[in-house]
Amino acid sequence: MPPKFAALLGSLLSLLPDDFQPSGRREPPSYFFTPEEIGRLHRADADPRTALDEQTWQDLLLEAYEDKLAQGSSIFGRQMLHRRLRAGIGDDACTALDERLRALVADGGRVAALETALLPLRHAETEIAGLLFGDAPPQSPPPWLRFLWLLPVLLLLSLVLLATQPLGWMATIAGMAPLMVLQINYHRRIQGWTATLDSVNALLACSGKLAQAGDPLLAPFVAARGQAAGLHKQVGRTLLMRMSPSTQAYLDWFGGSNVRRYWKTMRAFHQSRDFLRAAYLRTAELEADVALARHLGGASHWCWAERSAARTLELEGGVHPLMDIPSPLSVRLAGQGAFISGQNASGKSTFLRMVGLNLVAARAFGFCYARAARLPAVPVRASMQNEDSLLGGESLYMSELRRARELLAASGEPAGICLVDEVFRGTNHLESVSAAAAVLESLCERDLVLVSSHNLVLAPLLRAQLDPFFIDTAGGRPVLAPGVLRSPNGIALLATQGFGARVEGRAAEVARWLSGHLAEPAALVAEEDSELTA
């Protein structure tokens, strides 16, 4: 083949939609999407009673986990992963997902072939879930659109007058003015809509590629191929217009072609919205499945999670997938919650995040990061990163109180699991213990609660609701052991940070005084215990 002809043929083929490309794997661009855009599919039908709320999402560092899962995925797959993480999936859907993932994990070649077929999705530079699944009604075209053809006719007549009459230029200006106003008014709308159509075309092009892949998993794409191809032609530009952008620009400015196309394609979009929704869900679910299979193929410590009753939790050798060198920890709860104590820097907060992320992953995907697991598919609610807000005018304690009210309002609707780290740090010790005991007792009535705290006096106060555990680091590797911490290290750490003998000695002296001052006779302790538990 002559080089010039080959170059021309290559140029022509590059103008074709992706689903008509004969071969080759074109590396798509990487587009940035905000968390708000990624969450639009989830928000379209989110149930606030069962979905993870925003503070839990942030407390459990789930945005970073989602980024890890979604590497190499388009906005379609990212939105589906986000929806599953925030909302979870039912038992039947979880069983079906497990079957699909097992088949994909066992066949790396199949995953690679599907990744290639899904590449067109990554050419989408804007998300369309908000438009597809939102409640915004379709816009009606303006009445004057049917008379738009008159404007180029009037412009041509004005050009005749320009050539034949001395003052014909005035008619030409009058003919050009409405066309210019039209372009100015519609410029931003058409730009945004063009990006939306590009994403729709990426979805339809991908559907065409998947229909040709010959995988039994893709039978729904084969059935929808004809309708996808027809819609692709309706909303896409003609080959002639793609080959001659300058011609298209003339038609837009002097004939309003882009305005007519704007309303024509918008009508086609809304008329086909049910089909596009189904195509979106099929494709996004497939891409999310492929992303999960790819992730599991590179993970070394995970298992399929069995679903358990709401107040039963068994995690053997659980780890946090975002940690480079995690230390496996095991926990078993049956009916009772857990009070977690431990020395400073022993990993209490990390343990709660590990449990929370594994609960979320098991509810969303059917697997988690442990040697074995039986976990309930229930809502998870966390209170771990409360802090002062200078801009919001909210102190730490007020922030903690607000979050406690939110947890109490949501508890039992339906029953879930609450993860609370260092409850009520923002007030004095006595009031902190009193408020924490009251709030945690109420939470435990309806939810399974795991709480970590340095206030060890809470352990006996809550022993009817929470089994005590402490993170034992004496052996070099942390172990979750039954009981309450007996050797806190807060004062001992002063020595490691160079505070000096004077500060260290005074701190130890005050600690001994407080311990003796707060110690009470055994009879009085027993009497108060009976009053508190009555």
Sheet holding 417-421, edge to edge: 380-383, 417-421, 448-452, 337-342, 466-472, 479-482
CA distance 79 to 288: 9
Reduce the DSSP state of residue 421 to 3 states and report it.
strand
422 and 338 in a common domain: yes
Listed in sequence order, the residues at least 6 apart from 98 whose beta carbon sits closer than 8 Å to its beta carbon are 304, 366, 367
What distance in Å separates the CA atoms of residue 397 and residue 377, rounded to the nearest whole number?
Answer: 31
Q: What is the pLDDT of residues 54-65, one digit of tens each?
A: 999 999 999 999
Structure tokens at 96: 């079906």
Task: Please indicate, yes or no, if residue 196 is contained in any of the structural domains.
Answer: yes
The pLDDT of residue 158: 81
Q: In this structure, which amino acid lies at residue 277? A: R
- Whole-number pLDDT of residue 24: 41
- Residue 390's SS3 state is coil
Same domain, 332 and 346: yes
**Residue closest to 179 by CA, chosen among 254, 123, 238:** 254
Whether residues 184 and 308 share a domain: the answer is no
The verdict on residue 338 lying in a domain is yes
In a shared domain, residues 226 and 241: yes
In a domain, 15, yes or no: no
Q: How far apart are CA 268 and CA 235, in angstroms?
A: 7
H/E element holding 452? strand 448-452
86 within a domain of the structure (yes/no): no
DSSP element (H, E) containing 341 = strand 337-342
With respect to residue 8, please indicate whether it lies within any of the assigned structural domains: no
Report whether 89 contacts 364 (CB < 8 A). Answer: yes
pLDDT at 407: 94
Closest CA to 211 of 221, 223, 226, 200: 221
Q: Do both 249 and 357 map to the same domain?
A: no
Tell me the average confidence (pLDDT) per consecutive run of 10 residues in the chain, 534 residues long: 46 44 56 94 93 95 96 96 97 95 94 93 94 87 88 82 80 84 90 93 92 87 89 74 70 85 92 95 97 94 95 96 92 95 87 97 97 96 73 74 92 92 80 89 95 90 94 87 81 71 76 60 47 52
CATH number for position 382: 3.40.50.300
Q: Same domain for 272 and 414? A: no
- Of 59, 84, 81, 57, residue with least CA distance to 71: 81
Residue 180, in any domain of the structure: yes
Residue 41 and residue 281 in contact, taking contact as beta carbons nearer than 8 Å: no
In a domain, 191, yes or no: yes
Q: Which residues, including other chains, have CB under 8 Å from residue 513's CB and lie 6 or more apart?
A: none
Rounded Cα–Cα distance for residues 97 and 91 (Å):
10
Tokens 């103008």 sit at which residue? Answer: 15
Closest CA to 451 of 402, 417, 485, 489: 417
Q: Would you state the pLDDT for residue 17?
A: 46
Say which residues have a Cβ less than 8 Å from residue 158's Cβ, sequence separation at least 6.
Answer: 168, 171, 172, 174, 175, 176
Query: 321 and 419 share a domain?
Result: yes
Largest CA distance in the chain: 116
Whole-number CA gyration radius for the chain: 31
Helices marked H in 212-272: 219-223, 225-235, 239-243, 245-255, 257-271
Tell me which of 237, 258, 285 is where a domain ends: 285
Calculate ∠ Cα 210-216-220, nearest 5°: 55
Flag whether 17 is in a domain: no
3-state secondary structure 122-133: HHCCCCCHHHHH
pLDDT tens string 233-280: 888 776 555 666 677 787 888 888 889 999 999 999 999 999 999 999
Q: Which two tokens stand for residue 131?
A: 């438009």
Are residues 218 and 148 located together in one domain of the fold? yes
In whole angstroms, give the CA distance from residue 449 to residue 336: 8
User: Do 479 and 383 lie in a common domain?
Assistant: yes
273 and 253 within one domain? yes
Domain that holds residue 464: 303-484
Mark which of 484, 511, 526 sits at the end of a domain. Answer: 484
User: Does 156 share its domain with 279?
Assistant: yes
**What is the SS3 assignment for 88?**
coil
Please state the domain count of the chain. 3
CA 165 to chain centre: 66
Please indicate, yes or no, whether residues 467 and 503 belong to a single structural domain of this protein. no
Backbone angles phi, psi at 18, to 5 degrees: -60, -35
Cα gap 172→164, rounded to integer Å: 12
Q: State the chain's mean pLDDT as an integer.
A: 85
Residue partners of 485: CB distance under 8 A and separation at least 6: 341, 342, 343, 456, 470
